[in-house]
Amino acid sequence: MSPVDPASVRDDAGQVTLGSTLSRDLREAVPRGELTAVYQPQFDLATGTVVSVEALCRWDHPRHGLLRPDAFIEIAEREGLIAELGKAMLELGGRQIQRWRRQGREIELAINASPTEIVDGFAAHVIERVAALGIPRGGLTVEITESPPLTVLPVVLEALHALDASGVDVSIDDFGSGSTSLALLDQLTLSEVKIDRSLIQHESNSTNSQIEACMELAAERGWRVVAEGIETPEHLERARRFGCHRAQGYLLGMPMTADEIDALFAEGGQIPL
């Protein structure tokens, strides 16, 4: 199973020029169908089975080749294109999940949403597409990314509440990587927290107590906890020891094409260890 993780465009000297060219190109990328999705599996730690896939955006740029999000998400935010990008990813991932479900694969989908996307109309659009695509309650998780920091505005609280009421799960991504505190999480209507790989991969008194505090609040609130960045058997053991419900990372499965996810299903969809 070959990973689909090409190097991103990261030449410091070229980045300014590239950035301005990319922001022009990005306007055309959605209508031209240049955005694609790769899917990274998430495994249930109780059963060892693949239960969900996270759709991660890739841009098949006509001149630069396949670009990773770190080359263009910030540009999309700055240029006001992030909502359009998010809609394209919901459509791609949603249609893929619909195909799998029609084949009898009870798999869930997770998509990423930047806090700047959560404006009036965001929840209504997601709810409408989930219904149109026949995704059942709990079949879609919206992962709210860590950057830029989430501001708890009334529109955000209302959106999360509406998503929850309609059966769309909301997750806070990369918990522990930045400014998001447990006190902030506690103000939100959530179903899931994803613990950042910096906490999973580095064992110290500080990371241990952050994970423990997160697990404690998650248990009280009934949130699912996903451990990100599982790269070694030790990371997996750590996630299990803390009682995380799900795990995701290069050890378990790289971001891959839909065909490669099919091959994973064909092999039984179990943690490959």
Binding mask 63-92 for ligand C2E (x = CB under 6 A): -----xxx--x--------x---x--x---
Residue 269 within binding range of ligand C2E, rule CB under 6 A: no
User: Counting contacts by CB under 5 A, is residue 40 touching Ca ion?
Assistant: no
114 lines the binding site for ligand C2E (CB under 6 A): yes
Alpha carbons 146 and 192: distance in angstroms, whole number: 14
CA-nearest of 113, 125, 218 to 166 is: 125
Site membership for ligand C2E, residue 255 (CB under 6 A): yes
Asked if 249 interacts with ligand C2E (CB under 6 A), we say: yes
Q: Residues touching Ca ion: how many (CB under 5 A)? A: 3
Based on the shown chain and the rule CB under 6 A, indicate whether residue 36 belongs to the binding site for ligand C2E: no
The CA distance from 170 to 222, in Å, is: 13
Q: Which residue has the closest beta carbon to Ca ion?
A: 143
Q: Which is nearer to ligand C2E, 44 or 231 (CB)?
A: 231
| Residue 1 C-beta: closest distance to ligand C2E, Å | 14
C-alpha 206/C-alpha 199 separation (Å) is 9
Residue 136 token pair = 């059942």
Distance CA 53, CA 108 (A): 6
Q: How far apart are CA 135 and CA 147, in angstroms?
A: 27
Can you tell me which of 25, 84, 173, 260 binds ligand C2E, judged by CB under 6 A? 173
Q: Least CB distance from residue 127 to ligand C2E, whole Å?
A: 18
Residue 229: partners with Cβ closer than 8 Å, 6 or more residues away: 196, 197, 198, 200, 201, 235, 248, 249
Contact positions with Ca ion (CB under 5 A) in 152-211: 173
Nearer to Ca ion, 25 or 173 (CB): 173
Residue 195, classed as helix, strand or coil, is strand
190 dihedral zone (left: phi>0; alpha: psi -120 to 50; beta): beta
CB 57 to ligand C2E: min, Å: 4
Share in percent of the chain as helix, strand, coil (round to 5): 40, 20, 35
Segment 187 to 206, residues that bind ligand C2E, using CB under 6 A: 197
Hey, which residues between 124 and 153 contact Ca ion (CB under 5 A)?
143
**Exposure class string for 40-49: b at 16+ Cβ within 10 A, else e:** bbbbebeeee
Q: Under the criterion CB under 6 A, does residue 171 sit at the interface with ligand C2E?
A: no
170 forms part of the interface with ligand C2E (CB under 6 A): no
By CB under 6 A, how many residues form the interface with ligand C2E? Answer: 24
Binding site for Ca ion (CB under 5 A): 112, 143, 173
